[in-house]
Structure 1
């Protein structure tokens, strides 16, 4: 594990704008009514760690990636534009061709200094992904910021920050993969990007045909939004043994019918709620599961679509029920919430966004989980091979950082696969959360 006391200095060159390598259309492109909802109007950080590759001796990763990025932006030219807001909070991309922010840097640290089990939280992240002054607003700023930091061992770190309204995880991986392909010599991406955001827009006469409790506006009567000024960050690793123990705690009819995501989401939701020690057992607590609708919508989204294409189904339980009942209660609720998601559901969300002014999803007494174990960040190759780690730079991102989190793939030194869950909680609640997880994993259920 990387040492939490690891410190190093980073020397950055002045940030520059990387524009498309050849002329691109100057036009205004509408985001979808899924893209521009309030809950996606934030910057999401990603980080990739790459080893030294002897075959690339003499090649500067920053130069290679910057050149490939410029050529990739010819295909993904909306990323070189700027976001504007119109009537009714509708978002548009003004395809100005100004470019994305790029920073080249060097650090006096080796890859091995980060440890052999890379996962969030990462030391000195603010140095590896520098917040260029004036760049972090959602509107009228670069839609992508990339920093390539060369390490003293010959490896490098690529960190980026994406305006989430532009893409979800599959869309971002599609873009990064294209940069990698062009960096390795291709003349064009293997998957040609497709805009088609109108496929996820509201109907001319919006009329939601599903209830949408995920967007219910709930007052924070008990102060249960995680405070930002005093939080502990820690990652938990669930390997095959841990998942097997959790699965064994379910009744026999649920064990085979529940996915790893179902079980782990229920475990984290229940344990986190217990750790927060809700004052009122009748208060509702929520878990929102981000569900990719690619493959669930008819007609299907075209290959190459890189917009946001997911739903936010919610499960709701009172604190008393969630904390006192066994794990299978939470598993059943998670499974039921996921089953709601379909193409019709997402079109209903689009209608709801237009009718209700693009509200933020509920954040009070809510936890949001996004499963990135199969997103593909770990396969992005710029010529130096696959990353040692690829994925979210930290847990707890978004407008309410204690609310939004990820499941991240993990491989240990012996090649065993697992899932990393970064957790962000106030220190006393973190200590209780650790105890809850240890209790669940201490022995197999008698069921």
Structure 2
């Protein structure tokens, strides 16, 4: 038995726990009732904002985020919005104010003369969609995101950000957003979400974003670290994509009890973070029968100093490794994950990455883990996801999650805090169906299916 005490790798608890029943009782339709564009409340001078070298590592990918709210139940003499029309009014008015500060989201990405994307800050505005779903919030399938939630997250056709507010038949609401990853990473979008909610509540801003691209300027002369070649690869060197994908990825949402998160960390050994322990656990599960590649997203803000705390943009690196982990202990795999993170967790690595991109321009580059053949999974930390802070005046969300169903074959898994605030994790997973089958068969008492019962909706 691996790990410590009576806890094995797959069955963490002394006694198996039954997974919750999946919600998602029936098909439903979503009717769009109105589309409009919300611009910043104050006029601005049109200007260009270049993407940083770290932004240029991102291909044109859109990332989704959604929040679920139950029907507002104001008490007597309560002035909070209680109808969908009142909620929409608050959302749009506060969004117009938030876009004054977070003006890149109101712009457009265009291709410059060098063939690279660049942000035109012209206050085009954010497409805002009003919709109605013929289903109660409690009837949604919160586990199978492909079936239960996909319709509630908007398709982004123009601009940088699109928002959809959908009223449910029970009076609840799902707020879905989709933004261009080249403009912002999760840290940046979290800042925007909190700022938007603060505007709605007439609270002072807790964070002031910085758009100083000079913080990520390449050095002169360049200091190109050859080890970067192990983690990133120029797009021009990649073979053409296969016509038939090796793996069919699906989108699922799980939760992990706080106690199981703690047990994973104990099993991973002394000095390992909860995220490293989770990544090791997932790697063991994915690679139980075949060598598998594991990548871990590392945020460089803390490594580059306090001046980067409010930086808006992408500050990410993705170290990865491939190993046959099936026969390794949990502690051995966690040590490998820790070592992988340490390779990127320094100022030198991120400065070197900026210089490496500069040396490659105008050729685009991508994280190598996404381009390798074989089964790959990338774990990204959503520990800063502000699910309990995105409160616009009618109550906290009962659920919130990122949603990143990109077209590649590599898996993408993001644990984040549960809206319960009790230490549980929600885990969004864009993974191969084979991995879903393995989770269902071997890890269902750890990675449990999110349901309406879990969310207090039934």
TM-score in terms of structure 1 length: 0.82
1:317 to 295, 312, 322: 322
CA distance in 2, matches of 1:23, 1:73: 11
2:154 to 130, 140, 150: 130
Aligned counterparts, 1:394-433, within 5 A: 397-400=405-408, 402-410=410-418, 416-433=422-439
CA distance in 2, matches of 1:221, 1:227: 14
- After superposing the two structures, state which structure 1 stretch, 415-424 or 323-332, moved more: 415-424
User: Do residues 60 (structure 1) and 95 (structure 2) align?
Assistant: no
Contact 1:226–1:403 at 8 Å: present in 2 too?
no
Superposed displacement of residue 66, structure 1: 1.2
Gap change, CA 1:268 and 1:214, over 3 Å in 2? same
User: Do residues 177 (structure 1) and 194 (structure 2) align?
Assistant: yes
Q: Which residue of 2 aligns with 1:308?
A: 314
Where 2:184 maps in the other structure, the secondary structure is coil
Segments of 5+ residues of structure 2 without an aligned counterpart are 1-20, 75-80, 448-458
2:134 to 79, 93, 108: 108
Q: Which residue of 1 aligns with 2:450?
A: none
Contact 1:173–1:377 at 8 Å: present in 2 too?
no
Superposed displacement of residue 74, structure 1: 1.6
Superposed displacement of residue 325, structure 1: 1.8
CA distance in 1, matches of 2:392, 2:446: 41
Q: Which residue of 1 aligns with 2:161?
A: 144
Gap change, CA 1:87 and 1:288, over 3 Å in 2? farther
User: Do residues 209 (structure 1) and 219 (structure 2) align?
Assistant: no
Contact 1:226–1:402 at 8 Å: present in 2 too?
no
Q: Which residue of 2 aligns with 1:162?
A: 179
Contact 1:226–1:426 at 8 Å: present in 2 too?
no
- After superposing the two structures, state which structure 1 stretch, 71-80 or 209-218, moved more: 209-218
Q: Which residue of 2 aligns with 1:330?
A: 333
1:294 to 292, 301, 305: 301
Superposed displacement of residue 114, structure 1: 3.3
Q: Which residue of 1 aligns with 2:255?
A: 237
Contact 2:411–2:432 at 8 Å: present in 1 too?
no
Q: Deviations over 1:250-293 (max 9, x none)?
A: 5xxxx23111111110111221123xx44xx6xxx432211222
Gap change, CA 1:88 and 1:378, over 3 Å in 2? farther
What is the total number of aligned residue pairs between the two structures? 410
Where 1:270 maps in the other structure, the secondary structure is helix
Gap change, CA 1:184 and 1:318, over 3 Å in 2? closer
Contact 2:387–2:419 at 8 Å: present in 1 too?
no
Q: Which residue of 1 aligns with 2:387?
A: 377
Contact 2:154–2:176 at 8 Å: present in 1 too?
no
Contact 1:89–1:358 at 8 Å: present in 2 too?
no
User: Do residues 345 (structure 1) and 349 (structure 2) align?
Assistant: yes
Segments of 5+ residues of structure 1 without an aligned counterpart are 136-140, 442-447
Q: Which residue of 2 aligns with 1:19?
A: 39
Contact 2:399–2:419 at 8 Å: present in 1 too?
no
CA distance in 2, matches of 1:111, 1:440: 25
Contact 1:120–1:422 at 8 Å: present in 2 too?
no
User: Do residues 47 (structure 1) and 66 (structure 2) align?
Assistant: yes
Q: Which residue of 2 aligns with 1:259?
A: 273
Contact 1:44–1:164 at 8 Å: present in 2 too?
yes
Where 2:366 maps in the other structure, the secondary structure is coil
CA distance in 2, matches of 1:74, 1:425: 37
Superposed displacement of residue 354, structure 1: 2.1
